[in-house]
């Protein structure tokens, strides 16, 4: 594939991923709003913090390193025999997941504080079922890799959509009809989610392999049997250079998991917040990061593939194909500009509308107490999340294995400092302390990534970091958009009736329209990038 073809494929993948994540977040948003009316905040805290942490830790540590290593361009574009080695390597995620399950489930069962069985029933079986769900999802890992490497966007969209719908339907049905099941409700729904996800991938590849479409695309896997681990005549079972890169990413993944889920680990192992407070914090943080997750994360995932395929890992800019480096630099600049603007908009409007959003979403359970303050702080944190995601996306794709190993030490320092800051600041400021610690840690990670990008392009004519600088007119418009809704909040919101609330919302809508209009006028290059790269499938549908 040429760099332009890879860019188009990555752009389509990012667009579909954004749509997928938007759908997921809307479903999860509605599901949480529904369950808040039926279950206690303590039950929500145990599910969304402790059990979800067990599942995410098991899955992340089992597969993340394999995904990053195997999606590197120089490995996935090799001759057909290398695909068998890659598939063999990916099947190692399953036994690794079993090992993590054996290690983690006893910790969650016996070493952590057990919730009150009257308030949170069936904790033990739920822990086992969430661990089982994590191991079950790893069965689809070789299939997920093949779909991602060949840009099969539909299978990912359909599989995850069907699985999420099944999870939501089961959760709603059990919450309404069997509320006394407690944690069994959420555990059963999660096991069903991973089972449906695996089944969809299996059915797709059973249908695809051997088809005329697979033959036309010269798909390297010819039959279902080839998807299973098997030996290679006269060749190693796996590619050991790829295994070495996986080990480097594994050490990094362990540290990245500490950074990504650091506040959950602190809450789970140090008991700095009660289960009820954990539930409120998790709901608020999920609400605050909703846009970040369904926009920033899909962009990061999809364009990591683009950068990994276009750039030669660990090679200086001068020694690479200049046309491809130019495309990569332009894309990086546009992505930084895009996520910076989105982050600024979320920060400006999220800070003002935090009270109203929580009151509509969860009633007095969320809008009273520390909820609004948490959401305001999280709105500011979203801007840092935006910049960090794209900058690290590029850095991880461009680093050599030696640089990855070196960065693991940096990540270790970040992890230790973050956990320490989380504990200290949470003791001082409650849930807000987690967000402050995240902001400080994220700022350090961004600084490291920006320094790497600056040095990477230092001796080249491209300066992609200019994407971080919005136009002065846009900054002025954002400032006005922060002041005007702030005044309308004091006049119209939030306990003076729905009509005045609507006036407050209308004021924000006008300000948002003005901001978007200024973006269209002043950021023409960014608008062209979004239209030509991030929205190609919509143009195809219209034609």
- Confidence category of residue 141, pLDDT binned at 50, 70, 90: very high
pLDDT the model gives residue 125: 94
CB atoms within 10 A of CB 72: 20
pLDDT exceeds 70 at position 208: yes
Whether the Cβ atoms of residue 139 and residue 165 lie closer than 8 Å to each other: no
439 class by beta-carbon count within 10 Å (0-12 exposed, 13-18 middle, 19+ buried): middle
pLDDT the model gives residue 59: 94
pLDDT the model gives residue 543: 41
> Which of 90-104, 283-297, 345-359 is the least confident region?
283-297
Give the 3-state secondary structure of residue 248: helix
**For range 396-420, the mean pLDDT:** 81
- Confidence category of residue 17, pLDDT binned at 50, 70, 90: low
Whether the Cβ atoms of residue 462 and residue 503 lie closer than 8 Å to each other: no
Handedness of CA 254, 255, 261, 267 (dihedral sign): positive
Query: What's the Rg (C-alpha) of the chain?
Result: 24
Give me the percent of the chain exceeding a pLDDT of 90: 21
pLDDT exceeds 80 at position 453: yes
CA distances from 318 to 2, 322, 388, 463 (A): 19, 8, 26, 15
Which segments within 276-420 are labelled E, that is strand? Answer: none
> Which of 88-97, 211-220, 284-293, 330-339 is the least confident region?
284-293
Give the 3-state secondary structure of residue 232: strand
Q: How far apart are CA 129 and CA 108, in angstroms?
A: 12
Alpha helices in 36-108 (DSSP H): 41-45, 52-70, 73-76, 80-90, 93-106
Structure tokens at 514: 């003005």
Tokens 């392999």 belong to 209
**For range 352-357, the mean pLDDT:** 80
Average pLDDT, the chain: 82
pLDDT exceeds 90 at position 37: no
Q: How far apart are CA 438 and CA 426, in angstroms?
A: 11
Q: Summarize pLDDT for 319-349 with one digit per residue, the tens.
A: 777 788 888 888 888 889 998 999 899 888 8
Number of helices and strands in the chain (H, E): 26, 0
Q: Summarize pLDDT for 457-487 with one digit per residue, the tens.
A: 888 888 888 888 888 999 999 999 888 887 8
Q: How far apart are CA 135 and CA 141, in angstroms?
A: 11
**For range 113-124, the mean pLDDT:** 89
pLDDT the model gives residue 222: 79
Across 49-58, 236-245, 281-290, which has the greatest mean pLDDT? 49-58
Comparing CA positions, the residue from 24, 383, 343 lying closest to residue 193 is 24
Structure tokens at 441: 């840690």
Structure tokens at 446: 């961004």
- Confidence category of residue 238, pLDDT binned at 50, 70, 90: confident
Whether the Cβ atoms of residue 53 and residue 264 lie closer than 8 Å to each other: yes
**For range 40-65, the mean pLDDT:** 90
pTM exceeds cut of 0.75: no
**For range 417-444, the mean pLDDT:** 86
Q: How far apart are CA 270 and CA 261, in angstroms?
A: 14
């Amino acid at each position: 594939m040429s760099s332009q073809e890879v860019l188009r494929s990555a752009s389509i993948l990012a667009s579909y991923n954004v749509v997928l994540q938007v759908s997921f977040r809307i479903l999860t948003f509605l599901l949480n709003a529904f369950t808040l009316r039926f279950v206690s905040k303590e039950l929500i805290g145990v599910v969304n913090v402790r059990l979800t942490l067990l599942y995410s830790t098991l899955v992340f540590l089992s597969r993340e390193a394999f995904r990053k290593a195997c999606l590197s361009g120089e490995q996935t574009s090799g001759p057909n025999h290398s695909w068998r080695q890659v598939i063999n390597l990916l099947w190692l995620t399953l036994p690794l997941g079993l090992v993590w399950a054996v290690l983690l489930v006893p910790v969650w069962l016996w070493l952590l504080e057990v919730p009150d069985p009257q308030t949170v029933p069936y904790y033990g079986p739920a822990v086992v079922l969430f661990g089982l769900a994590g191991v079950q999802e790893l069965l689809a890992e070789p299939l997920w890799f093949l779909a991602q490497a060949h840009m099969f966007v539909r299978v990912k969209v359909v599989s995850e959509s069907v699985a999420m719908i099944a999870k939501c339907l089961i959760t709603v049905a059990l919450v309404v009809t069997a509320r006394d099941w407690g944690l069994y409700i959420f555990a059963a729904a999660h096991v069903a989610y991973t089972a449906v996800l695996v089944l969809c991938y299996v059915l797709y590849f059973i249908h695809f392999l051997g088809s005329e479409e697979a033959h036309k695309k010269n798909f390297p896997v010819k039959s279902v049997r080839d998807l299973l681990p098997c030996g290679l005549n006269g060749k190693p079972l796996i590619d050991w250079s790829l295994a070495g890169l996986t080990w480097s990413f594994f050490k990094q993944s362990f540290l990245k998991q500490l950074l990504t889920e650091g506040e959950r680990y602190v809450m789970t192992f140090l008991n700095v917040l009660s289960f009820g407070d954990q539930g409120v914090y998790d709901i608020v943080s999920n609400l605050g990061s909703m846009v970040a997750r369904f926009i920033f994360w899909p962009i990061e995932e999809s364009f990591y593939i683009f950068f990994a395929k276009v750039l030669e890992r660990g090679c200086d800019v001068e020694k690479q194909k200049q046309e491809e480096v130019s495309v990569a630099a332009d894309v990086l600049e546009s992505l930084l500009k895009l996520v910076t603007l989105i982050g600024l908009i979320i920060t400006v409007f999220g800070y003002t509308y935090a009270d109203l959003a929580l009151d509509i979403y969860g009633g007095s359970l969320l809008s009273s107490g520390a909820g609004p303050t948490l959401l305001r702080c999280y709105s500011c944190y979203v801007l840092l999340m935006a910049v960090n995601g794209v900058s690290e996306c590029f850095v991880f794709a461009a680093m050599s294995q030696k640089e990855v190993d070196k960065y693991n030490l940096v990540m270790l320092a970040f992890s230790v400092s973050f956990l320490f800051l989380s504990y200290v600041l949470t003791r001082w400021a409650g849930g807000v302390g987690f967000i402050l610690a995240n902001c400080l840690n994220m700022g350090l990670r961004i600084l490291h990534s920006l320094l790497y990008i600056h040095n990477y392009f230092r001796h080249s004519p491209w300066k992609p970091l200019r994407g971080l600088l919005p136009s002065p007119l846009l900054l002025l418009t954002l400032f006005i958009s922060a002041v005007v809704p702030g005044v309308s909040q004091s006049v119209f919101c939030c306990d003076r009736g729905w009509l005045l609330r609507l006036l407050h919302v209308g004021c924000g809508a006008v300000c948002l329209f003005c901001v978007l209009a200024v973006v269209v006028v002043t950021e023409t290059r960014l608008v062209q990038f979004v239209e030509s790269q991030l929205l190609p499938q919509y143009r195809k549908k219209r034609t």
